[in-house]
Amino acid sequence: MKLNPFCLCCILNKQEKLIRSYPDMEKKTEYMKKLMALIANTKETDCAPSLSVDIQKLYSSFWNCPAEDYTEVKKDFNRFMLDIEHTLEEKIRSSADPLEKALLYARIGNYIDFAALSNVNQETALTLLENNSDSLDQEEYSIFLKELNSAKRLVYITDNCGEIVLDKLAIKILKETYPDLDITVLVRGYPVINDATMEDAEEIGLTDLVKVIDNGSNVAGTWIPGINQTARELLENADMIIAKGQGNFETMNDCGLNVYYLFLCKCDLFQRRFHAQNLQGMFLNERRLVMEQV
């Protein structure tokens, strides 16, 4: 998804709020000028997540402040989701459509996003899971199932910590339902906010279930110009791709690949483009995507 006025204003507003309590007004003004200069020099291929990497570097250098460390937060959410994994799996297996139920749980897990939401907490995550009464878009889901019947290679792109446990449940059902389907999971190459990396995949047992590779990138998404060759070839050769989270939509939209996006709407722009409510679930295909230009 290309940079647009809404994303740029959002980025500027977030940075201003971040430094609002700092006492030196002149230094804050200087920082905002540098930030705007950085934004003015973005490339055609840039998107909000790729730009955020450069902004973090600028912030850390200018304020002599390292990026926030989410290591312990990630471990806490992974443990929390592992504690309820068995209960959720039982609910999945006893449902009328275990695959749809697993994908719905995986989508709800997209709530665990410290980049897009404030006050992310385990109680809300649990409430969302317990109160889940949604269904996937049935027209899109029908096409999805039809394509699964003939697909040979599927890539599942994860998003956040904790959420990755629910991804594991969805992948388990996919493997059981389509035993001849070659599934590979793609995670982030480096720690970025609370996004899932290889360390998370190993910690929650995903690497024991399926092949997992990292994309070699520190962008909060799957920004194809920035991922390694192995990841790029994996995506290009996939019959189907499941991409979790807004960040993957922002970085992959317009790629032309057969991507099924699974995420919660967590910002005003997404809500307006898809006529959705806050935290409303989306199940969209890249090649059949219709969204309002705002």
pLDDT tens sequence across 46-57: 999 999 999 999
pTM as predicted: 0.95
Rounded CA-CA distance 181/17 in Å is 47
User: Do residues 198 and 212 touch, judged by C-beta distance below 8 A?
Assistant: yes
* Helix-, strand-, coil-residue percentages of the chain, each rounded to 5: 55, 10, 35
Q: What is the pLDDT of residues 231-272, one digit of tens each?
A: 999 999 999 999 999 999 999 999 999 999 999 999 999 999
How many C-beta atoms lie closer than 10 Å to residue 22's C-beta?
11
In angstroms, what CA-CA distances link 250 with 7, 198, 222, 255, 266? 10, 22, 9, 10, 12
Instruction: Please give the mean pLDDT across all residues of the chain.
Output: 96
What's the rounded mean pLDDT across residues 3-26?
A: 94
Distance CA 200, CA 197 (A): 5
Report the C-alpha gap between 282 and 23 in whole angstroms: 42
Band of residue 292 on the pLDDT scale cut at 50, 70, 90: low
Looking up tokens 């967590």 gives 266
pLDDT tens sequence across 98-146? 999 999 999 999 999 999 998 999 999 999 999 988 999 999 999 999 9
